[in-house]
Amino acid sequence: MLRTEPVQSSFDDKAFGAAEGFVAFCAWLVSTLSFIGFLIQPAFAEDAPRNREQIALSFAPVVREASPAVVNIYTRKASRASDLNPFFSDPFFQFFFEGLGRRRAPERQQNSLGSGVIIESDGLIVTNHHVIEDADEIMVVLNDRREFRAEVVGADAAADLALLRIDPPSSLPALPMGYSDALEVGDLVLAIGNPFGIGQTVTSGIISALARTGPGVGSDLSFIQTDAAINPGNSGGALVTADGHLIGVNTAIFTRGGGSIGIGFAIPIDLVKALVRSIEGGGKSLARPWLGAKVQTVTPKLAASLGLERPVGILLNDVHRAGPAREAGLEQGDVITAVDGAEIVDKHGLNFRLAVGTLGDAADLDVWRSGRVFTANLQLELPPRDPPPDVTELDDGHALAGATVANLSPGFNQDTGLDLFAEGVVILRILRRSPADRLGLRRGDVITDIADRSIASVAELTDALYRLPSVWRLEIDRGGRRLGVTIER
């Protein structure tokens, strides 16, 4: 016979009471959390993506704000091509038959294109110097296709910057300028320009390096390096941060075939600001404060010989007797490691830091001297132009005829790319087949003595040339070498 029995519970009365309490606690916890979630729901909703751009993480809002401030620049330059018979282009025949075989060539128009950025709503535009160099006519085409004739209000060939002015009937969209020192390697950037003349184009990338000196980039300053695609026609265009600020002017690329390979260079925006300050102060180019010293980059080998922990900074090889470096207490053998807290790794970085400073202010230099580190206060001032250049073309009647000479000074030397420490009278130009040319003189030669008389100025030189004996000696300095020749009248 089968017997059924009720299944007996394994809980006794006490255990059953505890289980009921646990279930009640869980129900309370669930209801409490639900209420808290209801209260904080609006805060989470505010942070949630609310449109397509936010969901797609698009750069479209930045481009929409920045692109109207980026313009196309077209230049025209008249040139007369050589129309010389190839047979007579040989230098031998040119010497003996000058002018023979030459026909008047027709005038030709050379057109070029580039980009620019509106930085002030009244029509101030920044671009590259090489975009508008030697142009007879400059046209600016806005994003809305309006065209304006532009004039150059300031330029600096060494920095490859130029400022243009147009006269619009109303305010223009201007791109706000950022700060170079706020950049970090890895920051997202956009490059906006007109590559190959196909129309405004936007590319994206990151900051690849800072304070870079690129191969083939002809400047004594440093650049921003980016992998955002920059191609011919992008020159003068904008390098923009992810928050829509202009932080660079695209200027050059490293390439093997003419196109972008991900190594582009942009001029830091702080240098543009310095040029604008200089122009507003009545200048025509970038005002460059001078250090007043000859320097060289500290290499690993040099750092080891000096006793530095690592290769950093620039070494002072000589200090100008009347320069700011001497006034700041610097000496030969000192190493400048930082300017206003920014580390210096080469002379290009030093030039950049001085160039972006404001004239009349002072810069704090971190200086290493024989194992001791101290701070020096350097006054930011322009190199002096005393004596005045007094540029003079020497006329006929003596062996230096055909030479154009000028007085040397730190300011003049900086403008012409000569040795800042050079003094006396320098030869600027030599006319071909002139007496000075036949004598073998070259541009950059410094005339030191004539007929046993020291020459310190153009006035002394011209006076000496009118008092020459029948036999006299000319002495020059050529790149540190002393050369001389005896001349008969």
Residue 437's H or E segment, with its range, is helix 435-438
| Crossing angle between the packed helical segments 347-355 and 269-280, to the nearest 10 degrees | 40
Q: What is the pLDDT of residue 27?
A: 54
How buried is residue 157: exposed, middle or buried, by Cβ count under 10 Å (0-12/13-18/19+)? middle
Of residues 279, 224, 286, 214, the one with CA closest to residue 249: 224
Q: What is the pLDDT of residue 267?
A: 93
- Give every residue of the chain whose pLDDT is below 70, as ranges: 1-57, 79-109, 214-220, 255-260
Cβ proximity of 383 and 420 under 8 Å: yes
How buried is residue 45: exposed, middle or buried, by Cβ count under 10 Å (0-12/13-18/19+)? exposed
- CA gap 208, 263 in Å, rounded: 8
Amino acid present at 190: L
> What domains does the chain contain, in order, with CATH numbers?
69-165 (2.40.10.10), 180-280 (2.40.10.10), 293-379 (2.30.42.10), 392-488 (2.30.42.10)
Q: Which two tokens stand for residue 373?
A: 């580190």
Q: What is the pLDDT of residue 24?
A: 52
For 125-166, the pLDDT digits (tens) are: 999 999 999 899 999 999 999 999 999 999 998 889 999 999
- CA gap 182, 170 in Å, rounded: 32
Q: What is the pLDDT of residue 384?
A: 93
Q: What is the pLDDT of residue 176?
A: 95
Q: What is the pLDDT of residue 415?
A: 84
- CA gap 489, 470 in Å, rounded: 5
What's the whole-model pTM score? 0.76
Q: Which two tokens stand for residue 470?
A: 């029948």
Cβ proximity of 367 and 336 under 8 Å: yes
Residues 6+ apart with CB under 8 A from 412: 385, 389, 406, 418
Say how far residue 354 (Cα) sits from the centre of its chain. Answer: 12
Cβ proximity of 250 and 193 under 8 Å: yes
Q: What is the pLDDT of residue 217?
A: 54
What's the sign of the alpha-carbon dihedral 65, 239, 190, 67? positive
Q: What is the dihedral of CA 419, 422, 424, 425, to 10 degrees?
A: -10
- CA gap 231, 263 in Å, rounded: 10
Active site residues: 130, 160, 235
ω into 387 cis (within 30 of 0): yes
Integer angstrom CA distances of residue 483 from 90, 97, 381, 407, 435: 32, 34, 35, 20, 18
- CA gap 315, 304 in Å, rounded: 13
Amino acid present at 323: G
Return the DSSP state at 464: H
Pair type for strands 335-339 and 314-319: antiparallel
Helix segments in 248-329, DSSP class H:
269-280, 300-306, 324-327
Q: Which two tokens stand for residue 97?
A: 């038959």
Distance from the first to the final alpha carbon of the chain:
154
* β-bridge partners, 426: 406, 446
How buried is residue 303: exposed, middle or buried, by Cβ count under 10 Å (0-12/13-18/19+)? middle
